């Protein structure tokens, strides 16, 4: 006899979805607070310090925005692939390859005027990231290779390749033996606006463009149809292989652009740690945003507050990094868990539901 029944919900009101999410956040704070208390800290003080550390001063607020920018752009790339149920777990590698492409241009054309140089760096980053995403898309459409494992493994190849360049061919001769790539010329760095590099403007523009692309263009419609049902897409005469490859090139190109922005806006050079886990974190934020471009902007801003706040309490309150990560994990666990209850209805059956068992069940 089944004691628990799980059924996919056909529909749910916006109010009920909001209520479930609010309850999830409330429970996450309670359980995170209990963990903080067990560790010997005051939960209210820790939570207030996290908020203060993220938006309490102009400098902290800018740091939060700088964390949100790569997260937003990478999430947009990830959601394009996820929209057609192509599980692109390769954001990290695509970011690194995008940074590599941008660095190649920056190092070889350092004296080019700023605008054309940055334009070429962006194009190179988009091309490199798109190519890195094209590889698994090609093998998926031609041979049915599992894209989850393929894209995941390509992450490590990209990171190790950049490490090789950093320690070898691209090592700066003037670094006195320290393994680093030469710094970009001033023309190869992003200009600033309101004290932040213009990556935040690029992120806002991309949110609008991706939203329009997915919801108001033929190709965006085709991506959605392929995600819903390949049989329906095939019946409608769509070229599924072409759609998959096009969407993945776009997905990888957006992630590659993140690499260029991090290289030209933050590091001002190429490093093997440049991706900073954004490729993996973007998977979470894309899902939390329900694969919606506008929702991605909101979710990534909130997530950046959480990241910056957690980093702040490690310094200000001497909370161990593992404890700060645990707090983040608890909050994410409940928030992600709420999505399950929004998508599925859980009910009790048999004796647990107060129903009388049949004679056969009683026997």
The C-alpha atoms of residue 77 and residue 94 are separated, in whole angstroms, by: 10
253-303 pLDDT, tens digit per residue, is 999 999 999 999 999 999 999 998 899 999 989 988 889 999 999 999 999
Residue 11 is predicted with a pLDDT of 73
Q: Would you state the structure tokens that stand for residue 340, as one six-digit string?
A: 């399950």
300-359 pLDDT, tens digit per residue, is 999 999 889 988 988 888 888 888 888 878 888 888 788 778 777 777 765 555 555 555
Tokens 């992120």 belong to which residue? 203
Q: Would you state the structure tokens that stand for residue 51, as one six-digit string?
A: 């908020």
Residue 351 is predicted with a pLDDT of 53
Provide the pairing of β-strand 192-193 with 196-197.
Answer: antiparallel
CB under 8 Å to 339, separation ≥6 — which residues?
Answer: 287, 288
Tokens 């070898």 belong to which residue? 168
Q: Would you state the structure tokens that stand for residue 159, as one six-digit string?
A: 């990171």
3-state helix, strand, coil in the chain (%, to 5): 75, 5, 20
* Residue 152 C-alpha from the chain's centroid: 14
Q: Residue 296 in contact with residue 286, Cβ under 8 Å? A: yes
pLDDT of 360 higher than 70: no
Q: Would you state the structure tokens that stand for residue 281, as one six-digit string?
A: 């974190």
Q: Indicate the pLDDT class of residue 240, thresholds 50, 70 and 90.
A: very high
* Residue 67 C-alpha from the chain's centroid: 11
Q: Residue 127 in contact with residue 138, Cβ under 8 Å? A: no
Beta strands in the chain (DSSP E): 4-8, 192-193, 196-197, 344-348
The C-alpha atoms of residue 86 and residue 147 are separated, in whole angstroms, by: 7
The C-alpha atoms of residue 296 and residue 72 are separated, in whole angstroms, by: 6
Residue 341 is predicted with a pLDDT of 80
Give burial (CB, 10 Å; 0-12/13-18/19+) of 21: middle
């Amino acid at each position: 006899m089944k004691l628990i029944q799980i059924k996919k919900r056909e529909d749910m009101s916006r109010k009920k979805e909001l209520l479930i999410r609010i309850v999830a956040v409330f429970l996450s704070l309670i359980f995170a607070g209990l963990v903080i208390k067990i560790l010997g800290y005051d939960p209210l003080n820790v939570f207030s310090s996290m908020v203060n550390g993220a938006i309490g001063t102009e400098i902290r607020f800018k740091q939060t925005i700088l964390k949100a920018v790569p997260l937003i752009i990478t999430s947009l790339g990830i959601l394009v692939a996820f929209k057609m149920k192509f599980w692109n777990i390769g954001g990290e590698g695509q970011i690194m390859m995008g940074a590599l492409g941008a660095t190649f241009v920056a190092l070889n054309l350092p004296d080019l005027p700023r605008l054309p140089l940055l334009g070429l760096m962006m194009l190179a980053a988009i091309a490199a990231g798109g190519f890195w995403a094209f590889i698994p898309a090609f093998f998926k459409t031609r041979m049915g290779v599992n894209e989850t494992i393929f894209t995941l493994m390509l992450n490590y190849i990209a990171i190790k390749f950049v490490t090789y360049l950093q320690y070898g061919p691209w090592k700066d001769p003037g670094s006195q033996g320290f393994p680093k790539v030469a710094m970009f010329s001033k023309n190869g760095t992003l200009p600033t606006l309101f004290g932040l590099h213009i990556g935040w403007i690029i992120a806002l523009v991309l949110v609008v463009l991706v939203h329009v692309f997915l919801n108001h263009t033929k190709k965006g419609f085709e991506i959605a149809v392929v995600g819903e049902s390949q049989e329906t897409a095939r019946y409608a005469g769509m070229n599924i292989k072409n759609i998959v490859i096009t969407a993945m090139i776009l997905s990888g190109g957006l992630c590659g652009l993140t690499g260029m922005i991090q290289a030209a806006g933050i590091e001002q050079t190429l490093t093997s740690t440049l991706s900073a886990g954004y490729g993996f974190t973007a998977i979470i934020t894309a899902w939390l945003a329900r694969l919606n471009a506008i929702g991605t902007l909101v979710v990534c801003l909130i997530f950046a507050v959480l990241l910056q706040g957690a980093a702040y309490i490690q310094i200000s309150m001497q909370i161990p990094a593992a404890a700060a990560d645990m707090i983040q994990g608890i909050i994410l666990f409940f928030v992600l868990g709420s999505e399950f209850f929004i998508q599925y209805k859980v009910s009790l059956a048999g004796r647990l539901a107060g129903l009388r068992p049949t004679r056969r069940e009683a026997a």
